[in-house]
Chains A and B, each alone.
Chain A
Amino acid sequence: MIEVEGLGKRFVLHNQGGTVIEVMAGAHLRVACGECVALTGASGAGKSTLMRMIHGNYRATEGRIIVAGVDVARAEPREIIALRRERLGHVSQFLRVVPRVPAREVVAEPLLALGVGQGEALARAEALMARLNIPRALWSLSPTTFSGGEQQRVNIARGFVHAFPVLLLDEPTASLDPGNREVVLSLIGEAKARGAAILGIFHDAEARARVCDREVDVGAFTPARGAA
């Protein structure tokens, strides 16, 4: 479901003397249906950069990124929009929402975007929020005021509310208590069981060992930075 080949990334900072930073070269990986693969490597090795390129958030300088049949490196914006709406889910570490929109609507939004009716979308959102132990009293409040762990669970609920065939997870268990961590690990297990292809970054080594089938060391794709 995910196939990355010959992927490279270079940043050119035009306002800082045209500085060129090579951050990735020759990256390659594959994630099959029903498989969970972890990206590993030291901080700064490019785990997040690679995830962002697969999501279409960073532009690839070279190479191919095939996600559910779409080459994200070359696709038109509208193809990526459709891919993200239907097939590619993403749980990021940051919650970005319109202020004052209630949490239940934030979580239901991916379903509403797919045309699911308001009633069913909200019911599914609430069921998932209950499972993630987000207090009922918070459902009608904007998540911008929530604690870090609560915001993260809202993000997780958004990512799992629709059965995306491909999922990108950026630190899904960071800042969670043991109980909620278990819930997230079982959500990941269930997604694998229904055939989802999952790529994740997990600093939590034990969580990684439990849900991931393989690891890919991103450090192998870091270009030599010369004498600098």
Chain B
Amino acid sequence: MNPLLQVRDVAKSYGTRVGCADVSFDLWPGEVMGIVGESGSGKSTLLACLAGQMAPDRGAVIYDTRDRGPVDTRALSEPERRMLMRTDWALVHQTPRDGLRTGVSAGGNVGERLMAVGARHYGDIRARAVDWLGRVEIAADRVDDPPSAFSGGMQQRLQIARNLVTGPRLVFMDEPTGGLDVSVQARLLDLLRGLVREMGLSAVIVTHDLAVVRLLADRLMVMKGGRVVEAGLTDQVLDDPQHGYTQLLVSSVLQV
């Protein structure tokens, strides 16, 4: 078995300022990895480099494709990269509006991704869209409503349905529960855990919320100043942090 994603020495600078540097790790099939750090720690820059939204200055992001085996995603042509983004990969944005088309109905948002990979039969597309809306707990009678008529939590669930309908193997998530009410967060966390388990998904989740990674991620990477300061099993990093910065981060969480 190959790692699904091999990240080697990835670096990205903004002029003289370091975005992220010296990041290397392997992600295996079925694993969920959390990346935590404060604002400006480089976690979103790293995610953008991994997900092909931004070209790193250095390093390699090697993905184990279904048909060709491990391929450096930087060497892919633009159409190949776009095809990968539509089929095998998914990117869930922090702000649902960035990942949704507001002028299209909820069902259309989900169906559109299916059409992008060649689905043409209207009845099938609609049936699969309704099925996925049900899985993210959006009632069938809301299929024709536009996302603008949805609450923030529903928009986030719609974005997840749109991303997962094509059966991706790797999901990148940027603060998936940020900006949601805590009651909605819990439901979304449970939904994500179930989907990861049932679909055998691998995921990279960027967040600043340590409680979210504890419940969702198998492994954890802690970033500071663009670099990884500590990595390991999630509960080990949180309960027995080795690096001074991680110790500070963990001891600064307010207890409820």
Contacts and interface: CB of A to CB of B under 8 A. Distances in A.
A200 B155 CA distance: 47
A77 B219 contact: yes
B233 A56 contact: yes
Interface stretch (B14-22, B63-71, B99-107, B184-192): B184-192
A58 B28 contact: no
Contact of A101 (B28, B183, B190): B190
A127 interface: no
Given A52-B239, A58-B240, A77-B219, A98 B247 contact: no
Contact of B244 (A14, A52, A57, A59): A14
Contact of A59 (B189, B190, B219, B242): B242
B236 A15 contact: no
Contacts of B193: 98
Contacts of A78: 28, 31, 218-219
A117 B242 CA distance: 39
A14 B239 contact: no
A57 B190 contact: no
B236 A56 contact: yes
A42 to B, nearest CB: 22
Contacts of B235: 57
Given A15-B247, A98-B190, A113-B197, A58 B239 contact: yes
A12 B240 CA distance: 10
Contacts of B31: 78, 81
A15 B251 contact: yes
Interface residues of A, number: 22
A81 B240 CA distance: 17
Nearest to B218: A81
Interface in B189-231: 189-190, 193, 197, 214-215, 218-219
A205 interface: no
Interface string A158-201: 00000000000000000000000000000000000000000000
Interface string A29-69: 00000000000000000000000100011110000000000
A136 interface: no
A14 B243 contact: yes
Nearest to A75: B233
B167 interface: no
Nearest to A78: B28
A80 interface: yes
A56 B239 CA distance: 11
A104 to B, nearest CB: 14
A77 B233 contact: yes
A96 B235 CA distance: 11
A15 B242 CA distance: 11
Contacts of B244: 14-15
A59 B246 CA distance: 14
B248 interface: yes
A81 B233 contact: yes
A45 B136 CA distance: 48
A13 interface: yes
A100 B232 contact: no
Contacts of A57: 233, 235-236, 239-240
A101 B183 CA distance: 12
A121 to B, nearest CB: 11
Contacts of B239: 52, 57-58
Contacts of B189: 98
A25 interface: no
A70 to B, nearest CB: 13
B247 A58 contact: no
A118 to B, nearest CB: 9
A59 B240 contact: yes
Contacts of A12: 242
A97 B236 CA distance: 17
A95 interface: no
A135 interface: no
A126 to B, nearest CB: 19
Contacts of A59: 232, 236, 240, 242
Interface of B: 28, 31, 183, 186-187, 189-190, 193, 197, 214-215, 218-219, 232-233, 235-236, 239-240, 242-244, 247-248, 251
The 8 A-B residue pairs with the shortest CB-CB distance in the complex, in nearest-first order: A14-B244, A99-B186, A58-B240, A77-B233, A100-B186, A77-B219, A98-B190, A98-B189
